């Protein structure tokens, strides 16, 4: 994918116009919080005799639309407005060098946007895109039959741009997982979603290509994009993000995520995360709260004629090993620089995208069979994958972070994850998990997701410390931190 194509890739499909105002497959037992309700993890229709001849779309459309939901999000945009302040603020050194001090307040301007999601279990688990719900302060799900529910964000994965949310309901229709590996270029597919707030919209197209990379520009430095997109020519537009890509059996084969466009509207190319990745990511988010990624620990590039000639490789297809990371699982297993990986677990790896897709399905501690071409000879290696820290441990996510409530500020605090600390550029602090109605924080316009780093010049490292500092206050309270837009603030209350 050249840079020009990359520059036109659009990922912000979720905004349809901003307006003011298998348990065994994933080892998902009851301890994961994923119930015994029927789900895409335990149900399959692949071997059933169902309609689905070329050009016959009605069966797949009727099966899919009840399980595709409309997601509406509320977000908050802050606008600072000058308010009357105490004449003693600046005199006592409580002025705000960042423009948000005691003499100013922020007013929250609500915005709304919309996207799509796919029900994957009868008890309300829904998979969608991370970019659909990542910045939302409130998420509402509208079912195909017009019932509305407030949704809880279970967890998100920026690397794959996937997220899982849940509504409290039972006996919901859900889609079954298909086989994106078996998907063929030229095969008919349907895209189902809610473009431009037009609910339950179905479009048809064919699979144009598989394993597309370099589609999405990711701004966050701690995000390593996992891209192996299914490319189709089924019409996808703003609002389709998080919706279903299905085959003619009505099986989920992908989650619609991005379009290639010069204008922001559909121009003939759309991209979906394959269900092989969706299954693994959604299962991990439900069970662990984050994605358990196994790493080979190799620096790779695709073999082409020029590289084969420069390195005197004895093959013209595969993935070239150019180096290793620290504590590399591949190096420990005996793989060497200049080896060309041609298969993993028997599946050909003719592209970096395919290799990454296969490895992404595995967790740390799992073993894979890696076939390499070394100087024209084929060699097999058993590689036990490691996590990003160089060991094989499973690390649970922080689904239930430490939290505490401050009646004085009218807010609930939660602990910061390492990723959030990196994002905001802080080494300590607490996240505002909830702003309570009519509280001091609401009055000053601080929004959910903002970070408080200091209270009365004391660095805060936990929600408990924050509440203790507030309860032991004497006189006025000085808050320092970082707003959700990255701007720093100082408030005196």
- Using pLDDT thresholds of 50, 70 and 90, give the confidence band for residue 53: low
Contacts of 492 (CB under 8 A, 6+ apart): 89, 94, 96, 101, 102, 476, 477, 478, 479
What per-residue confidence (pLDDT) applies to 209?
95
Token pair of 240 as six digits: 């389709």
Catalytic-role residue among 39, 70, 131, 339 = 131
Q: Tell me which range, 51-55, 71-75, 116-120, 456-460, is most confidently predicted by mean pLDDT.
A: 116-120
Cα 241 to Cα 2, 67, 162, 204, 284: the distances in Å are: 24, 15, 10, 16, 21
**pLDDT attached to residue 5:** 42
- Give residue 441's pLDDT: 83
Q: What is the pLDDT of residues 158-181, one digit of tens each?
A: 889 999 999 999 999 999 999 999
Tell me how far apart the alpha carbons of residues 297 and 331 are, in angstroms, rounded to a whole number. 8
Average per-residue pLDDT in the chain? Answer: 82
Which positions ≥6 away from 478 have C-beta within 8 Å?
94, 454, 455, 456, 457, 490, 491, 492, 493
pLDDT tens by residue, 87-106: 333 333 333 333 344 444 45
Class of CATH domain 298-384: mainly beta
Q: What is the pLDDT of residue 401?
A: 47
Of the two residues 75 and 80, the one the predictor is more confident about is: 75
Answer yes or no: 161 catalytic: yes
Is this model's pTM higher than 0.85 or not?
no
* Higher-pLDDT residue of 26, 480: 480
Residue 302: predicted pLDDT: 93
Catalytic annotation on 85? no
Residue 70 annotated in active site: no
Pick the CATH number of 403-492 from 3.40.50.300, 1.20.1540.10, 3.30.930.10, 2.30.42.10: 2.30.42.10
N-to-C CA span, the chain: 53
pLDDT for residue 377: 95
Candidates 123, 157, 161, 284; catalytic one: 161
Q: Kind of pairing, strands 9-10 and 252-260?
A: antiparallel
pLDDT, position 330: 96
Residue 26's pLDDT is 41
Averaged over 140-144, what is the pLDDT?
96
Annotated catalytic residue within 180, 241, 270, 282:
241
Task: State residue 222's pLDDT score.
Answer: 53
Q: Using alpha carbons only, how large is the chain's radius of gyration in Å? A: 25
Domain limits of the chain?
3-73+114-287, 298-384, 403-492
Residue-wise DSSP of 174-218: -PPB--SSS--TT-EEEEEE-GGG--SEEEEEEEEEEEE-S----
Q: Examine domains 298-384 and 403-492 and report if their fold is the same.
A: yes
**Could you tell me which residues come within 8 angstroms of residue 124 by beta carbon, excluding any fewer than 6 positions away?**
149, 166, 167, 168, 169, 170, 172
The reply to whether CATH 3.40.50.800 applies to domain 3-73+114-287 is: no
Buried b (16+ CB within 10 A) or exposed e, 268-287: ebbbbbbbbbbbbbbbbbbb
Measured distance CA(245)–CA(232) in Å, rounded:
9
**Contact (Cβ atoms closer than 8 angstroms) between residue 429 and residue 414:** no
Whether 354 shows a pLDDT value over 60: the answer reads: yes
DSSP category for residue 439: S
DSSP 168: S
pLDDT of residue 109: 60
Tokens matching residue 187: 């095969």
Residues of the chain above pLDDT 90, percent: 50
- pLDDT tens track for 379-430: 999 999 998 888 888 776 644 446 688 888 888 888 887 667 878 888 889 9
């Amino acid at each position: 994918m050249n840079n020009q194509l990359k520059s036109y890739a659009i990922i912000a499909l979720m905004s349809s116009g901003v307006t003011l105002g298998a348990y065994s497959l994933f080892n998902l037992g009851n301890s994961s919080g994923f119930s015994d309700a029927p789900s895409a993890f335990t149900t399959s229709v692949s071997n059933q005799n169902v309609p689905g001849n070329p050009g016959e779309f009605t069966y797949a459309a009727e099966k899919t639309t009840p399980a595709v939901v409309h997601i509406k999000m509320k977000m908050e945009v802050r606008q600072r407005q000058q308010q009357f302040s105490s004449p003693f603020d600046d005199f006592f050194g409580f002025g705000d060098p960042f423009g948000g001090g005691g003499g100013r307040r922020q007013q929250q301007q609500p915005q709304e946007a919309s996207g799509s999601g796919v029900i994957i279990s009868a008890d309300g688990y829904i998979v969608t895109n991370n970019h659909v719900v990542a910045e939302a302060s409130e998420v509402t799900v509208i079912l195909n039959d017009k019932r509305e529910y407030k949704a809880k964000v279970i967890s998100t994965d920026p690397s794959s741009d996937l997220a899982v949310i849940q509504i409290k309901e039972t006996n919901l229709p859900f889609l079954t997982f298909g086989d994106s590996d078996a998907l063929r270029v030229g095969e008919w597919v349907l895209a189902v979603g809610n473009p431009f707030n037009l609910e339950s919209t179905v479009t048809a197209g064919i699979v144009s290509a598989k394993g597309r990379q370099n589609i999405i520009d990711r701004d966050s430095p701690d995000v390593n994009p996992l891209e192996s997109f299914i490319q189709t020519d089924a019409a996808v537009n703003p609002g389709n993000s998080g919706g279903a890509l299905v085959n003619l059996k009505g099986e989920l084969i992908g989650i619609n995520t991005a379009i290639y466009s010069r204008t922001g509207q559909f121009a003939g190319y759309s991209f979906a995360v394959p269900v092989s990745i969706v299954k693994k990511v959604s299962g991990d988010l439900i069970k662990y709260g984050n994605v358990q990624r196994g790493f080979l620990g190799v620096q790779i590039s695709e073999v082409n004629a020029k590289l084969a000639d420069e390195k005197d490789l004895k093959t013209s297809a595969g993935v070239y090993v150019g180096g290793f990371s620290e504590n590399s699982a591949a190096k420990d297993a005996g793989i060497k620089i200049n080896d060309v990986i041609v298969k993993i677990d028997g599946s050909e790896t003719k592209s970096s995208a395919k290799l990454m897709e296969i490895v992404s399905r595995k967790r740390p501690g799992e073993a894979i069979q890696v076939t390499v071409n070394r100087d024209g000879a084929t060699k097999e290696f058993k590689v036990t994958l490691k996590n990003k820290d160089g060991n094989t441990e499973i690390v649970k996510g922080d689904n239930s972070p430490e939290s505490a409530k401050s009646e004085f500020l009218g807010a609930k605090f939660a602990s910061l994850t390492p990723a959030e600390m990196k994002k905001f550029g802080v080494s300590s602090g607490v996240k505002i998990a909830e702003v309570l109605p009519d509280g001091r924080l609401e009055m000053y316009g601080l929004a959910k997701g903002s970070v408080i780093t200091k209270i009365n010049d004391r660095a805060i490292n936990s929600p408990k410390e924050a509440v203790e500092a507030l309860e032991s206050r004497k006189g006025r309270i000085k808050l320092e931190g970082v707003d959700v837009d990255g701007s720093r603030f100082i408030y005196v209350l």
